Amino acid sequence: MMEWLSHAIMPLTIAYIVGFGFLSGRPVFHDFLDGAKDGMKTVAEIFPTLLGLMTAVGVLRASGFLDALGGWLTVPAGWLHIPAPLVPVTLVRMVSNSAAIGLVLDIFRQYGPDSQLGLTASVLMSCTETVFYCISIYFGSVKIKKTRYVLPGALLATAAGVAASIWLTSGLS
């Protein structure tokens, strides 16, 4: 039953939307085109921010600054029981998911995916969010400049996610 439902959910959803549009007398295709135009405008508006974020992460990683920052933060991270190889992952994860995945794959190659470090990195990736990416893209797309408590709250949630990933995997391997 669940397999059938998982295969049928998208066609049923599309049929429901189109059927509802026709029954209510809406110009469904025209509404679709208007939505696509608005989506393209949004992409054009957020593209410079996205390009800037991706370029900055690439420059930081290629220049070695990220490794140096991870080295400087190794001692304070040790006080918090954060393994040294996870420091760069934690920092990059707040900006770019794809760059953080690259770092996690490096951890997998060096320590193995089933090692405690590999498991912790995996859980960390699912317990944290791309804070700066989300704030810049989502708030930037609707032109909100004052985010109030979003950044402190998101950083607190990231700290909780890092702590949870370390705590949840502390006895595993």
Predicted confidence (pLDDT) per residue in 125-161, tens digit: 999 999 988 888 888 778 888 888 999 999 999 999 9
Residue 5 lies in a domain: no
Q: Are 162 and 124 in contact (CB under 8 A)?
A: yes
What's residue 123's pLDDT?
95
φ, ψ at 82 (rounded to 5°): -95, 120
What's residue 172's pLDDT?
65
What's residue 138's pLDDT?
84
- Can you read off the two tokens belonging to residue 120? 């912790």
Query: 51 pLDDT exceeds 80?
Result: yes
Say whether 112 sits in a helix, a strand or coil. coil
Residue 20 lies in a domain: no
Residue 117 lies in a domain: yes
What's residue 37's pLDDT?
95
For residues 169 and 70, the model is more confident at: 169
Query: 53 pLDDT exceeds 80?
Result: no
Residue 102 lies in a domain: yes
What span, in angstroms and rounded, lies between the C-alpha atoms of 122 and 74? 20
Residue 73 lies in a domain: yes
Number of domains, the chain: 1
Residue 160's domain spans which residues? 45-168
Residue 28 lies in a domain: no
Q: Residue 164's pLDDT band (boundaries 50, 70, 90)?
A: very high
What's residue 127's pLDDT?
92
Contacts of 95 by beta carbon, 8 Å cutoff, 6+ apart:
53, 56, 57, 130, 131, 132, 133
Residue 89 lies in a domain: yes
What's residue 141's pLDDT?
75
What's residue 153's pLDDT?
94
pTM equals 0.69
Overall average pLDDT of the 42-65 stretch: 83
Residue 13 lies in a domain: no
Predicted confidence (pLDDT) per residue in 80-131, tens digit: 888 988 998 998 898 888 888 888 999 999 999 999 999 999 999 999 999 9
Q: Of how many residues is the chain composed?
A: 173
Overall average pLDDT of the 11-40 stretch: 90
